[in-house]
Amino acid sequence: MKTWLSDVLNSKDFWISFSVAVIFLLAGKLSALAVRLLRQVWQSHQAYSVSGFWMGDCILPSCGEGYIVEIWRFVQRQDQIKITLLAYYPTGSFIDRCAGSGIFRGSYLSAIYYSNRRDSYESGVLALKLSNQHLRGTYAQHDIGDIDEKFYTSDSEYSLTRVRLPFIKAAKMFLGRPPFRDYAEATVTYEQYCSKKTTVAVEHA
């Protein structure tokens, strides 16, 4: 048995066959990944699909005078929406990762989102309407960064703008990695697409 195994492991044909099998396996995985990415790129160009990348800002009192830069990835399957959100905070290098789901019917998107961190119970809701390359409406959540954890909603000027990320950055987010290194880099792209910050958080009792 040991002699047979030794002969196999020392066989040039075995290692060639093994290498070919691994190459085909990796090629298959990469091809499937490329097809999924290309499908999302195609969907993001459709007028009545929200699939793709969107950017906006979030203002909560715990942020002080700054605002959070958000980049959202929506994946639409019929009227079902899968959500990935990365939130870049103005202080430090903290990037929060959120997930969520929703429904898109007609031109209206309703969804929930929540932090992926085990130590966080932050969550919120969206109610938006698609108009051209914008999703406009409101978000609502408790500000858990505030000592009183008060409940806030944005005014009706909350807006997400569809953005075209460079291929490398899009691929990073597709793979679950941050497309921007930090808040400063995210802000550059945000200001390129979003002319001004208009969101205002309104406190509710």
CATH number of the domain enclosing 172:
2.40.128.120
Q: Are residues 28 and 81 in the same domain?
A: no
What is the structure's pLDDT at 102?
97
Q: Are residues 165 and 66 in the same domain?
A: yes
The helix/strand count (H/E) of the chain reads as: 4, 10
What is the structure's pLDDT at 45?
44
- What is the model's pTM? 0.74
Parent domain of 83: 52-204
Q: What are phi and psi of 78, to 5 degrees?
A: 60, -115
Q: Are residues 89 and 25 in the same domain?
A: no
Cα–Cα distance for residue pair 35/96, rounded to 1 Å:
28
Q: What are phi and psi of 91, to 5 degrees?
A: -110, 130
* Least confident span in 50-54, 59-63, 149-153, 192-196: 192-196
Cα–Cα distance for residue pair 104/114, rounded to 1 Å:
18
Q: What is the pLDDT of residues 151-199, one digit of tens each?
A: 998 888 899 999 999 999 999 998 889 999 999 999 999 998 886 565 6
Q: Are residues 66 and 88 in the same domain?
A: yes
Band the pLDDT of 7: cuts 50, 70, 90.
low
